[in-house]
Amino acid sequence: MFWGSRKTIDMNYFPDEVLEHVFDFITSHKDRNSVSLVCKSWYKIEKYSRQRVFLGNCYSISPERLIARFPGLKSLILKGKPHFADFNLVPDDWGGFLYPWIKAMAKSRIGLEELRLKRMVVSDESLELLSESFPNFKSLVLVSCEGFTTDGLAAIAANCRFLRELDLQENEVEDHRGYWLSCFPGSCTSLVSLNFACLKGEINLASLERLVARSPNLKSLRLNRAVPFDTLQRLLIRAPQLVDLGTGSYIHDPSSEAYNKLKAAIQNCNSIRSLSGFLEVAPCCMPAIYPICENLTFLNLSYAAGLQSNELTRLIHHCRKLQRLWILDCIGDKGLGVVASTCKELQELRVFPSDPFDAGNAAVTEEGLVLVSEGCPKLNSLLYFCQQMTNAALITVAKNCTNFIRFRLCILDPIKPDPVTNQPLDEGFGAIVRSCKGLKRLSLSGLLTDQVFYYIGMYAKKLEMLSIAFAGNSDKGMLYVLNGCKKLRKLEIRDCPFGDTALLEDMGKYETMRSLWMSTCEVTLGACKVLAKKMPSLNVEIINESEQTEFNLDDRQKVDKMYLYRTLVGHRKDAPEFVWLL
């Protein structure tokens, strides 16, 4: 034991090494933050032993300060643009650049091993620098990012000798056609996870097969559209140990030799628990995968536009152990009935619109949701794009499923009332928040008055994120939420009649939150200026898309888009011209 050799503080009976060891077991970010607040000694030990950091807003702190605070950093999660950027509400070049982070970490002695990014602008330059600066780099996960090409991926492949994970989800990547995959050196045998489903271009198939062949630890493989059926079959033979598979093109003649070979190969892959892809699909080839369906826990058919409702339901019949299902609305209400009667373990359901351009025509209604709620009592996470919703249905759902953590409803016509009663959907959503005491995330749609916000403020005590569009009548609505939802971290509002009174009533509230987004509301420039002046710990940004300059704009004028967030480092230096930092 080390009793004699270490300085100890009165209340602190354990030497540092022991405390460090104890802290190793504390993995949640929240808990580690709490630990660091206990006393100076704990702060110091926690500081040096902290390896994983999560920054929900990359502008809340600077790279330099982060590195100084946690010199032992190995794993970093960064999020950049506000959520509504996903829906084209934030102009390009707003910000969220990765490069400064890589540059700073490269300069210091940070031994970065894992990087996970969401909605950030990632340049090839930053990927190249990343690949050259961190010899132990193991894992890169990019979600909804942009700004890079396959050249940047080539650098990662070529230089990260111990790469385990390259996971690209829904990124906009400029594809310079396939050679990047060939850049994995022959000595690279460490891959565990490879996901390039979002790439649009050709892939060097021979390189891919060789790579998979020399990766005995490969557990997750998600292919892009350019990988054909025969290659899939050969890959499966090489990697029967896969746990997660995303197919590329899944089209072939079911009477062919290749199809039979695939059938055989799949049957050998009895570890597969997660299936996705089918970006191009011939329905007649689906039976080949039935054998693995019974063990699936996650099925993502949300890009399989080639599958009709009857094919989907035939497939679902085999998936009794499903816990998460992502699907297109062409499954229809009846198809959701099949889900309800088959997938008793279902926890998460996402139903996407198969035609996201035509706001008139979703193929599911409140009926499908009610059926699922009746059949799947474990349901706790929902994203549901539908044609219409009724209060009665929501009330029934609330009664059947009290465990919702995430409830996101999107009625394609954003202000549609209950079609049966012609009433707003206040009561329905009210029932959801009353019944689901653990609700953390909520997205509303449909015709809604201030009343729904009254309910949310009253009952949604654990709510952390709320998305509102085209709802409410007055400032009261927003105030109910700000006053009642004590755990609120992210609030995003578009096209609602909330204005200055609501914005300025409790300015201190925003320091307890990560961010607030308000666009096309009734908030004036003057109010934003007042807020910015009174709260130096907040950055209040105005995105101005008209041609006017700051000098021409009257304080009484309403702002198009306002985004505010708490920060330790004041105004960011990389804001473009059209973003005004008040």
Partner 1 sequence: MEVGLKMALKGGGGGDHVGGCEKEKMGFEETELRLGLPGGGGEGGEVVRKRGFSETVDLKLNLSSKPENSGIDPNDEKLTGLNKEKNLLLSAIDPAKPPAKAQVVGWPPVRSFRKNMLATASQKSSSDESSGAGEKVAFVKVSMDGAPYLRKVDLRMYTSYHQLSDALAKMFSSFTIGNCGSQGVKDFMNESKLMDLLNGSDYVPTYEDKDGDWMLVGDVPWEMFVESCKRLRIMKGTEAIGLAPKAVEKCKKRS
Residues 195-224 that bind partner 1 (CB under 8 A): 198, 200
Q: How many residues bind partner 1 (CB under 8 A)?
A: 71
Q: Does 410 bind partner 1 (CB under 8 A)?
A: yes
Is 531 an interacting residue with respect to partner 1 (CB under 8 A)?
A: no
Binding status of residue 12 toward partner 1 by CB under 8 A: no
By beta-carbon proximity to partner 1, the closer residue of 27 and 557 is: 557
CA pair distance 301, 242, nearest whole angstrom: 18
Three-class secondary structure of residue 529 per DSSP:
helix
Judged by CB under 8 A, the residue of 135, 377, 570, 576 near partner 1 is 576
Which residues, other chains included, contact 190 with Cβ-Cβ below 8 Å and sequence gap of 6+?
Answer: 138, 162, 163, 164, 215, 217
C-alpha 331/C-alpha 307 separation (Å) is 9
Query: Which of 210, 558, 569, 574 is close enough to bind partner 1 by CB under 8 A?
Result: 558
With respect to partner 1, which residue has the nearer C-beta, 348 or 475?
475
CA 172/CA 255 separation, integer angstroms = 37
Q: Which residues within the stretch 260-279 sit at the binding site for partner 1 (CB under 8 A)?
A: 279
294 counts as binding partner 1 under rule CB under 8 A: no
DSSP result, 52-94: EEEESSTTSS-HHHHHHH-TT--EEEEE-S-GGGGGT-S-TTS
Cα–Cα distance measured from residue 517 to residue 494, given in angstroms and rounded to the nearest whole number:
8
Residue 50 or 81 having the CB closest to partner 1: 81
Q: Give the shortest CB-240-to-partner 1 separation in angstroms.
A: 29
The full length of the chain comes to 582
Asked if 550 is part of the footprint of partner 1 (rule: CB under 8 A), the reply reads no
The encoded tokens of residue 467 equal 């998305």
**Rg of the chain, C-alpha, whole Å:** 26
Segment (H or E) for 37? none
Our finding on whether 404 is near partner 1 (CB under 8 A) is no
Chain positions 46 to 75 lying near partner 1, rule: CB under 8 A, are none
Residue whose C-alpha is closest to residue 144's, from 227, 95, 75, 79: 79
Across the strands, what pairs with 246?
A: 222, 276
Rule CB under 8 A: is residue 578 a binding residue for partner 1?
yes
Smallest distance from partner 1 to CB 238, Å = 27
Contact positions with partner 1 (CB under 8 A) in 360-379: 360
Q: Using the minimum distance from each CB to partner 1, give the nearer residue, 73 or 145.
A: 145
Question: Could you say which of 305, 458, 535, 569 contacts partner 1 (CB under 8 A)?
Answer: 305
Phi/psi of residue 466, nearest 5 degrees: -130, 130
**Shortest distance, CB of residue 544 to partner 1, whole angstroms?**
8
Cα–Cα distance for residue pair 252/254, rounded to 1 Å: 6
Instruction: Report how far Cα 282 is from the mean position of its chain's Cα atoms.
Output: 30
Give the C-alpha separation, 429 to 398, whole Å.
9
CA distance 539 to 532: 7
**Residue from 37, 508, 545, 573 in contact with partner 1 (CB under 8 A):** 545
Our finding on whether 299 is near partner 1 (CB under 8 A) is no
Q: Segment contacting partner 1 (CB under 8 A): 212-220, 232-240, 528-536, 573-581?
A: 573-581
Helices (H), ranges, 415-554? 426-435, 450-459, 475-484, 500-505, 525-534
Q: Please state, in angstroms and as integers, the Cα–Cα distance from residue 21 to each residue in 18, 25, 46, 49, 490, following that order.
A: 5, 7, 10, 9, 34
Instruction: Pick the piece of the chain touching partner 1 (CB under 8 A) from 61-69, 212-220, 227-235, 297-305.
Output: 297-305
Does the footprint of partner 1 cover residue 560 (CB under 8 A)? yes
Asked if 500 touches partner 1 (CB under 8 A), the answer is: yes
| Binding residue (CB under 8 A) for partner 1 from 185, 216, 356, 438 | 356
Closest approach, Cβ 271 to partner 1, in A, equals 28
Q: Which of 101, 196, 385, 429 binds partner 1 (CB under 8 A)?
A: 385
Q: Is 418 in the site for partner 1 (CB under 8 A)?
A: no
Which class for 58: exposed (0-12), middle (13-18), buried (19 or more C-beta within 10 A)? buried
Stretch that binds partner 1, among 122-130, 368-376, 399-407, 520-528 (CB under 8 A): 520-528
Question: Looking at 91, 111, 240, 291, which residue binds partner 1 (CB under 8 A)?
Answer: 91
Between 274 and 443, CB nearer to partner 1: 443
CA-based angle 394:398:404, to the nearest 5?
115
| E strand segments, 392-452 | 406-411, 441-443
Among the listed ranges 232-240, 347-355, 394-402, 531-539, the one in contact with partner 1 (CB under 8 A) is 347-355
Looking at residues 14 to 33 of the shown chain, list those that interact with partner 1 (rule: CB under 8 A): none
Q: Taking CB under 8 A as the rule, does residue 522 contact partner 1?
A: yes
If one asks whether residue 84 binds partner 1 (CB under 8 A), the answer comes out as yes
- Site map (CB under 8 A) of partner 1, residues 454-493, x = contact: -------------x-xx--xxxx-----------------
Contacting partner 1 within 160-179 (CB under 8 A): 170-172
Considering the complex, state which of residue 128 and residue 280 has its C-beta at the smaller distance from partner 1: 280
Residue list 100-139, contact with partner 1 (CB under 8 A): none
Query: C-alpha distances in angstroms, 525 versus 245, 416, 433?
Result: 50, 31, 33
Among 69, 414, 462, 529, indicate the residue that binds partner 1 (CB under 8 A).
414
Residue 133: both structure tokens together: 């600066």
Site stretch for partner 1 (CB under 8 A), options 10-18, 27-35, 353-361, 567-575: 353-361
Q: 382 — phi, psi (to 5°)? A: -135, 135
